[in-house]
Amino acid sequence: MLAVSDADAVALQKLVPALDVTVVPNGINTRTYIPTPPHSHTPPPPHPHTPTLIFTGTMDFRPNVDAVLWFARKVLPRVRAEVPEVRFLVVGQRPHKRLDFLRGDPAVTLTGWVEDTRPYIAQAAVYVAPLRMGGGTRLKLLEAMAMGKAVVATRLGAEGYPVTDGGELLLADTPADFAAAVVALLRAPERRAELGRVARAFVEQRYDWRVIVPRVEAVYTERV
């Protein structure tokens, strides 16, 4: 049995104590997710010089809906108090009706389905992952980090990845701490760039398919 994180492996073994579980994490093609994505048909941002926060995900998936609601209601107002011109883009298909109230806010955009998320992630001054529920590991974090983006995530959002607060990304769990981390990065472009470089290297070394696939093959070879 394969699991994508230690937490998932522990959960499986609680259900079936004798289960033999090997942890092999999710992977990503770092030659596809690069800091400067290829040209696409995605239209350019309407305010290219405005600091932009990005969240990506299927937007009728409960953990994603909860994350955006929490961020929009509890965190974004605090960020705006310090950086009034900030914008928040929620990129993903099928936005749930619980998010409809955000459509009246000119600083918030629900894109709906997009052909390619990479041009949107490329716009981000900060990528946010304010997840408060769910399990496994979040590929959205790998995508943003592979593209060299500074990330602020909850500890649950970064669960399953051996990251350190202030190393590959910033971690925060309360509205005040999350907002403070975002504001600090918006005000420090050099710090954002450094976090992005470290994040990119972290994903290349640990989560590129060139690293992951041999590990999966080894598991099946040992068990044949």
Distance CA 184, CA 169 (A): 13
* pLDDT of amino acid 11: 76
Q: 103 with 164, same domain?
A: yes
Closest CA to 44 of 120, 97, 101: 120
Radius of gyration of the chain (CA): 18
Residues 13 and 92 in one domain: no
DSSP H helices, 43-127, are 62-70, 76-82, 118-123
Instruction: Tell me the pLDDT tens digit for each residue of 151-202.
Output: 999 999 998 899 999 999 999 999 999 999 999 999 999 999 999 999 999 9
What range does the domain containing 219 cover?
A: 1-27+208-224
Tokens of 34: 């690069």
Which tens digits make up the pLDDT trace of 92-122? 999 999 999 999 999 999 999 999 999 999 9
Number of domains in the chain: 2
Same domain, 64 and 78: yes
Do residue 160 and residue 68 come from a single domain?
Answer: yes
Q: Are 57 and 81 within one domain?
A: yes
Both 153 and 166 in a single domain? yes
Residue 70 amino acid letter: W
Predicted structure pTM score: 0.86
Judgement on whether residues 122 and 222 belong to the same structural domain of the protein: no
Residue 172 and residue 72 share a domain:
yes
Whether 11 and 66 map to the same domain: the answer is: no
